Structure 1
């Protein structure tokens, strides 16, 4: 019951405060740990592909196990002090591991710069939340990039962490966040990370498989509740959910494209190289700046539905098992 109450408190705090810049985020510690271990792996393995592949697995295990065990030990230590201390700590961590308000705020900055007619600043703002090159993006490209990252991170930044938090509390939440951070830092298919990051990429796909599909279904329900094109969201989801190199990324992107009745994805530049990508959705109407706001509304509705569903299932299990 404490875990469920801590998740409820953390969810409310995230919606209220988001991620203040002055507050040190635990993901930065995970990121620093990954960077340190990566340097060690490269120093030992040099450019030997087989060794880098093995080292990537060891790196993943050290990071993910470390994040889980450290948070578990600190939580147990807090319990020894007082149950209230453990509840406060777990609630705070649940709050930090969710990114609903911050995702909407960061995408909102992109919207604001576009509304002011400042495309260069909008490109800079969107570069803070996407991995692609943004220097040559048109206004439509900036909007699409913002909408796509809101759609994808509805799962990665909100629904998936909430899923693992409610199952296993803050330690399992840190486990997931470490998995996700590993993928975002080294899970690339370029020459630098093709071998060292392969384990991180594959296991991120594995641990996001169920949450991504739950996110998509909840987002479809959210589209209906918000008066968006729910039928279109379902249709495009069924048709385009596999149009991505990742088995998970297009799940929510397809729903969002259908709900907004726009076309997303397509070719994109990463690290100076053009990557060919399929389009997701139908070009029913032109992409417009307000689509960023609409994607944010869909994010919030999906998050609320996920909380009600996961919390309801957890509560039922607590009472009936």
Structure 2
């Protein structure tokens, strides 16, 4: 196969390299932020157009997801139609926006550094930016636990799922997935406002992450031996036995794989929006998460991200 015809395949590893180099610079325009603004703009319109909240939310979610795919597909098709190199650049940039391995790693590294320097207040402020729970009373070990849990849970929607959909349908499908994920994070709540309106958006997110979350378990287990004291057997065993111990049908599996691989206990009760939520433990009886587990967690996440990038690129090469 000639190099020009390989450019769509090269876009995926190129995007991962770009993410590794740049992360998520605030000065760059970001499609995910545009998705958030679109959700805020169209939500009241769909609520007015449909009397039934669940119907309104379902049509709202479907419109935004399909619209995102349609705009992305048109842009990428036009770019490749104009010139293969231009198409490669456009698709690489769009895929880059779908990945967050570097930003997730950087957030964990910053928290780790603050804790190493004894700056607990600063670390508490940093972890509050990446978790939804109340961390106002957290001390060093609590902050370390929240950081490791966030790295584990976000390894799927921030890295593995976008790679999975990019392998199947390039940048358009990966961006459609990011719209699914953004919708879930903004309207997929079980509160009075979104219980009915956001229900279908939340279910779509569950379906979209079902396969990637289980692929993640295998990949995390395979790469676990690259981190200090990592255990492939424990990762698989914990995921198999305790992956379902989570409110989400998907999030518990990568979290359990991380717990087993690192030999730590995750989960348990936490306060969200002023209310105590009784979450089950994952890896119950294993070691308590401490400062040393933060670098092990982000190393495991990054090794897994590299491995999944290679897998996704291989799958896309087959489909070209």
- TM-score bracket for this pair, using the shorter chain length: over 0.9
Q: In structure 1, how many angstroms separate the alpha carbons of the residues matched to 2:122 and 2:59? A: 40
Contact 1:240–1:250, Cα closer than 8 Å, also in 2: yes
Q: Which residue of 2 aligns with 1:24?
A: 29
Q: Which residue of 2 aligns with 1:155?
A: 156
Q: Which residue of 2 aligns with 1:11?
A: 16
Q: Which residue of 2 aligns with 1:244?
A: 246
Secondary structure at the counterpart of residue 58 of structure 2: helix
Give unpaired runs (5+ residues) of structure 1. Answer: none
TM-aligned CA deviation for residue 287 of structure 1: 1.7
Q: In structure 1, how many angstroms separate the alpha carbons of the residues matched to 2:65 and 2:55? A: 16
Q: Which residue of 2 aligns with 1:36?
A: 41
1:192-231 aligned within 5 A:
192-227=193-228, 228-231=230-233
Q: Which residue of 1 aligns with 2:145?
A: 144
Q: In structure 2, how many angstroms separate the alpha carbons of the residues matched to 1:25 and 1:111? A: 27
TM-aligned CA deviation for residue 317 of structure 1: 4.6
The aligned length equals 314
Q: Which residue of 1 aligns with 2:264?
A: 262
Question: Kindly tell me: are residues 317 and 75 of structure 1, through their superposed partners in 2, closer, same or farther at Cα, counting changes over 3 Å?
Answer: closer
Contact 2:68–2:176, Cα closer than 8 Å, also in 1: yes
- Normalising by structure 2, report the TM-score: 0.94
Q: Which residue of 2 aligns with 1:104?
A: 105
Q: In structure 2, how many angstroms separate the alpha carbons of the residues matched to 1:312 and 1:14? A: 19
Q: Which residue of 1 aligns with 2:314?
A: 312
TM-aligned CA deviation for residue 41 of structure 1: 3.4
Secondary structure at the counterpart of residue 24 of structure 1: coil
Secondary structure at the counterpart of residue 269 of structure 1: strand
Question: Kindly tell me: are residues 315 and 82 of structure 1, through their superposed partners in 2, closer, same or farther at Cα, counting changes over 3 Å?
Answer: closer
Contact 1:258–1:282, Cα closer than 8 Å, also in 2: no
Please say which of residues 61-70 and 304-313 is displaced more in the overlay.
Answer: 304-313
Matched, 1:76 2:83: no
TM-aligned CA deviation for residue 77 of structure 1: 2.3
TM-aligned CA deviation for residue 2 of structure 1: 3.1
